[in-house]
A and B are shown apart, each in its own frame.
Chain A
Amino acid sequence: MNATAVIASEFTRVVKFFWQELKPRGKWLTPFNVISIPVIVVGLIILYFRFVYGLGSVTNLSQEFPWGLWIGFDVVTGVAFAGGSYVITFVVYVMRIEKYHSIVRVTVLNGLLAYIFYAGALVLDLGRPWHIINPIIGNSFGYNSVLFLVSWHFLLYMIAMAVEFSPVVAEWAQLERVRKFLSGLTLAAVIFGITLSILHQSGLGALFLMAKPKIHPLWYSEFIPILFFVSSVYAGLSMIIFEGTISHRVFRNLIGGHDHHRYEEIVLGLAKGAAITMFVYYFFQALIFIHEERWQLITDFWGYWYLVEVLGFVLVPCFMFAYAVRNRSLGLVKVASVMALLGIILNRLNVSVIAFRWYAVNKYYPSWEEIVVTLMVVFTEIWVFRWIVTRMPVFSKA
């Protein structure tokens, strides 16, 4: 058989393989499908109107409130939730703590999908979405803009995570030589990715530095990039615990018995990391509070709201994590992780939406279309995640 015939035969095999894998598996009538499919369909219809008639046709955004739920939740919060990827790869590949090796693949996949969908949701929010390519192709680079840094970092970090995850795809496609080559790139991609992550997690906070007069002084600080970075660490760890809990239940048959056994130790280890990071974050907040003499600001509604966020959704889950680790209580760890995630949502929305132009008479409230599109983004990501983990060797050790 000549070379052309071999290539043609291999190509046919790959096409047949992908076609087989594209076919749906499992039951269709599940509660998740029943809820998510209508939301995704309605979301797509709304997106049609958004791109044909503009942002104003489906959102409550205005010149006074140019950033709403899509930026505040999808981009700013979603990227913080994806922080688990760089934390775990750092722990496993740089610190060489093998205990967490079994969750590297699924965490990187979660991070990659979060960036593709949540950072990708940025396109929805741009008035002229085709301009998103400008910082990349050099049409008005904007070297002095934080957005320039963030856009480049998003792109490069997505490439780094794709490289980190690529051995799994090669293993799935049974391309052994390619898998070996891609595995050799992992460590470089991890180090590159960690560097990028630290910079753009804080860069997202730096976006708000120029909005000093618009953000309530309890949420504005020149240290906001550091706060965003530190909080992304425990946001990522909490997200791994939360997603791991769901995956452990839903994809039980895909996770090996050995990993079931080690699951408890992994969760407690992650909770310990989250408790320590939240403690550090809380003290940063306290230090900034005292340094900027905010005492007189906590006597009104905004002050109480700030205390709810910092005490109720940072300090309380921090102690819950610590108590749960000490007493080996997995249930409490799960509750604490949900509270920590709610705290992150609250913090990011406070900075970008709720306490943004807090003095304005006409407030911004997201329209129902914005909420449906946000849910659509989340559900679509879960669909893609489910498709990948039921086909590729995601839950096996790298």
Chain B
Amino acid sequence: MEFYTYVNIFETKGLEYLLLLSFLALFILLVRYLSAPKGKRRVPEGKPPRTTN
């Protein structure tokens, strides 16, 4: 006969692993959020970027 026991997430390291995984996911989101500032100048559509020879 098989017995099933519930894993207490507070007693195991489960919560710590969840926290670390969420940290990694949120960290990537934060870096992406910071890497594309709203106010950055964009090249208008239909106008080719200026090049120098």
Residues on A close to B: CB < 8 A? 268, 272, 275-276, 279-280, 283, 286-287, 290-291, 293, 295, 322, 325-328
Query: How many residues of chain B have a CB within 8 Å of chain A?
Result: 16
Given contacts A275-B34, A293-B10, A326-B34, contact A287 B16 (CB under 8 A): yes
Query: Helix, strand, loop or mixed for chain B's interface?
Result: helix
> Which one of A279, A286, A290, A295 contacts B30 once the chains associate, using CB atoms below 8 Å?
A279
Give the chain A neighbours of B23 by CB distance below 8 A.
283, 287
**Are the C-beta atoms of A279 and B16 separated by less than 8 Å?**
no
* A270 → B minimal CB distance (Å): 12
Q: How many residue pairs bridge A and B at CB < 8 Å?
A: 41
Residues of B within 8 A of A (CB): 10, 15-16, 19-20, 23, 26-27, 30-31, 33-34, 36-39
Taking a contact as CB atoms under 8 Å apart, the answer to whether A279 and B27 are in contact is: yes
Report the bound CA distance from A241 to B29 in whole Å: 25
Whose C-beta in chain B lies nearest to the C-beta of A288?
B16
Cα distance A272–B10 when bound, in Å? 34
Contacts A287-B16, A325-B34 known; 12 new A-B pairs at CB < 8 A:
A272-B34, A275-B30, A276-B34, A283-B23, A287-B23, A290-B16, A322-B34, A326-B33, A326-B34, A326-B37, A326-B38, A328-B39
Which residues in B have their C-beta under 8 angstroms from that of A295?
10
CB contact under 8 A between A325 and B16, given known A276-B31, A279-B27, A293-B10: no
Given that A283-B23, A290-B19 are contacting pairs, would A327 and B34 also be in contact in the complex, using a CB cutoff of 8 Å?
A: no
Determine if A327 and B38 form an interchain contact, defined as CB atoms under 8 angstroms apart: yes
